[in-house]
DNA sequence: CCCAATAAAATTGCACCCAATGTAATATAG
DNA sequence: CTATATTACATTGGGTGCAATTTTATTGGG
């Protein structure tokens, strides 16, 4: 058997173990949670980032692209095509602010408002999926928020 | 001012507030942490997922695509093109297992081994960035692991 | 031995995600 | 008032991420 490497040619640094890295745990958990939302969002024909945009619009009715980006920590490279898809489906409108033509105001259209009713039950259902958490999720969420504040 | 909606045409369900959703916090934190790794990985010309693959190979020397997928919770649709890029650069080799031609064994090449030296300092540096966490990261990481176990 | 079932990758297509760049509008300095 | 800087989006390009499908290889039953 011809190995490319001579055995013992380097020592593995145990600090590099995948399981010990918080960043990987967050990365993996993020994808798992997004996947867990899918059965709830597929009936509404929404992706998770699209759902987040709608959450903000249901709350604020109208926001600029910049506002959305600040809430979601996403930039126009991500938001512009996503919003175009939502507009294509008639869920939101995109129009330049007459008072500052640089801004684009995103507004809910009736079809987007209507989705709110169908999304009302989602938080309760998703909470149920990891409700039996050992320490409860409230504490975890607070810790995550603090980390985000420090990194954002 | 002509609003598309009549004022008060629907009540916002406060359960849908973005800030109260653990999934969003994890999603946002994941992207922030990945971004925090960038100054450490750019000098090695690696993306974060590529770095994760190399972490596993530095530890195990050789793994199948399936093995990598099980550790990282990624499928071949993501891993195959990523591994082709690493192979293109001469960091790893991809060869069918002679005993089971369905499997592809990913092996470190000397250039991939050499990167290990240059990556050795990364965990210490990244830990430093969020070291002053209130409750410490060890507890958070354990909670994340438990959630992953339940959802994977 | 033959064939259906299973398994591992690869491929395809769509939707993020973000760095870098471009463009038009607004704000500011002098 | 005008040149410059800044701001808000849009665009482009590369790299994921994943569902769905296809291809090739192995396994198990008859």
| Residue B85 banded pLDDT, cuts 50, 70, 90 | very high
A117: left (phi over 0), alpha (psi -120 to 50) or beta: alpha
Per-residue pLDDT at A87 exceeds 70: yes
Strand order in the sheet with A62-64: A62-64, A100-108, A92-97
State pLDDT tens for residues B91-113.
999 999 999 999 999 999 999 99
Question: Is the per-residue pLDDT at B78 higher than 70?
Answer: yes
Ranges A39-53, A116-130, B102-116: which has the least confidence: A116-130
pLDDT digits 0-9 by tens, B17-63: 998 899 999 999 999 999 999 999 999 999 999 999 999 999 999 99
| pTM exceeds 0.85, yes or no | yes
Adjacent-strand bridge partners of A62: A107
- CA distance, residue B88 to nearest chain A CA (Å): 17
Could you tell me the residue range of the domain that residue B73 belongs to?
A: 35-120
Q: A140 vs B135: CB contact, 8 Å cut-off?
A: no
Instruction: Please indicate, yes or no, if residue A137 is contained in any of the structural domains.
Output: no
Residue B43 to residues A131, B115, B122: CA-CA distances in angstroms?
A: 42, 11, 11
Decide if A145 is inside a domain.
no
Judge whether A147 is closer than 8 Å to chain B, CB to CB.
yes
**Chain B: residue whose CA lies nearest to A106:** B4
With distances taken from each CA to the C1' atom of nucleotide C8, the closest residue turns out to be B102
What's the pLDDT at B139? Answer: 78
Tokens of A92: 């939101």
Query: Cβ of B32 and A152 within 8 Å?
Result: yes
Residue A112 lies in a domain: yes
In this predicted structure, the answer to whether residue A92 has a pLDDT above a threshold of 80 is: yes
The reply to whether A116 touches chain B by the CB within 8 Å rule is: yes
- What is the band of B131 on the pLDDT scale with cuts at 50, 70, 90? low
**CATH code (residue B83):** 1.10.10.10
| Interstrand relation of A100-108 and B92-97 (parallel, antiparallel or unpaired) | unpaired
Q: Is B9 among the domain residues?
A: no
Q: What total number of domains does chain B contain?
A: 1
Question: Which residue among B16, B33, B140 places its CB closest to the CB of A143?
Answer: B140
Q: What is the DSSP letter of B15?
A: G
Please report the pLDDT score of residue B135 as a whole number: 57
């Amino acid at each position: 058997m011809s190995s490319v490497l001579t055995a013992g040619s380097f020592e593995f640094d145990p600090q590099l173990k995948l399981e010990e890295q918080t960043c990987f745990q967050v990365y993996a958990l993020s994808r798992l949670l997004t996947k867990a939302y899918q059965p709830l969002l597929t009936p509404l024909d929404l992706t998770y980032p699209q759902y987040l945009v709608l959450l903000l619009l249901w709350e604020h009715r109208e926001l600029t692209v910049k506002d959305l980006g600040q809430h979601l920590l996403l930039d126009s490279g991500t938001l512009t095509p996503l919003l175009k898809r939502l507009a294509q489906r008639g869920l939101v409108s995109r129009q330049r602010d007459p008072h500052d033509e640089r801004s684009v105001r995103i507004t809910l259209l009736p079809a987007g408002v209507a989705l709110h009713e169908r999304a009302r039950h989602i938080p309760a259902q998703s909470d149920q999926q990891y409700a039996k958490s050992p320490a409860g999720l409230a504490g975890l969420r607070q810790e995550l928020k603090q980390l985000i504040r420090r990194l954002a």
